[in-house]
Amino acid sequence: MHSSMKTYKIALTRTYLISIKAESEDRALRFSEYYLGNCPDLSTGKNRKEKNFSIEDMEMVYNEAQQV
């Protein structure tokens, strides 16, 4: 299907501001990392076909919550 296309490694960095109620700041930080850590591939088969791309692999390599 996409045999003539090259594979590129991309590092994508995002920052979210999350309001979370918890028993302590430490628990709030840990819960946000744990429950919001993995980002799914939201592309559909239609997106991939129309725009001629495919996401082959996605691995979380950094996940750290910080107080703001």
Sign of CA dihedral 50, 60, 66, 31: positive
Asked if residue 1 has pLDDT above 90, the reply is no
Asked if residue 44 has pLDDT above 80, the reply is yes
Identify the residue whose tokens are 């910080």: 66
- The ranges assigned to domains in the chain are 22-53
Whether the full predicted model's pTM is greater than 0.75, yes or no, is no
- Over residues 19-38, the pLDDT tens digits come to 999 999 999 999 999 888 77
Min mean pLDDT across 5-9, 21-25, 34-38, 55-59 is at 34-38
Q: Give CA–CA dist 59/26, Å, rounded.
A: 25
